[in-house]
Amino acid sequence: MAAEKPVEVCVKAAVGVPDSLGDCPFSQRVLLTLEEKKIPYDIKLMDVNKKPDWFLEISPEGKVPVLKLDDGKWVPDSDVITQILEEKYPNPSLVTPPEYSSVGSKIFSSFIKFLKSKDANDGSEQALLDELHALDEHLKQHGPYVNGENVSAVDLSLAPKLYHLVIVLDHFKGWKVPENLTYVHAYIKLLFNRESFVKTKPAKEEHVIAGWAPKVNA
């Protein structure tokens, strides 16, 4: 049953474009969950460089995403938020079976390490390739999504992270996901073409690049 009034959610605005949806993969994960469950929601865009006082009161660390509950409390952390949404709006179910819930879980950290790496021999590229190969093997056996025919929570967590990986590694390193990872490529295409993804992705690829530039140049 749909909510009577829209759920309020604070997410990151684009760097330098405060009225445009930003590049936070954790914010997008929450928006994807809301979209896939057809829950009406009201977005509040946060300029992370000029956080208003009212926002710092509900999220003292200034982190997004944050979701407002029925009792008026604001809850941070995409893991917690998506769990609450699953419990409150169980249909359609997005539960990933426990044995698959950690599939691809090290891809994002491996991507960041490789992105920041200045040493071609430090093993960071191979570590990322190993994670992508493991995902490819899983999808080969269980795809097209991590849990088979239907999209689930783990896919909605991975989709924004893979989007960042594809855009950012190409831009900063001229690196692309190897063509021989055919199941990963098919998975990426499937995810990026979902209506929920198209509606919730950053307004422009440049916003993703702008969001990562300070970390790459650090």
SS (HEC) of the chain: CCCCCCEEEEEEEECCEEEEECCCHHHHHHHHHHHHCCCCEEEEEECCCCCCHHHHHHCCCCCCCEEECCCCCEEECHHHHHHHHHHHCCCCCCCCCHHHCCCCCCHHHHHHHHHHCCCCCCCHHHHHHHHHHHHHHHHHHHCCECCECCCCHHHHHHHHHHHHHHHHHHHHHCCCCCCCCHHHHHHHHHHHCCHHHHHHCCCCHHHHHHHHHHHHCC
CA neighbor of 80 nearest in space, from 26, 36, 146: 26
Select which of 7, 11, 13, 24 is catalytic: 24
Tell me which residue has tokens 């928006």. Answer: 31
What CA–CA distance (Å, rounded) separates 114 from 122? Answer: 9
10 is known as an active-site residue: no
Catalytic center residues: 24
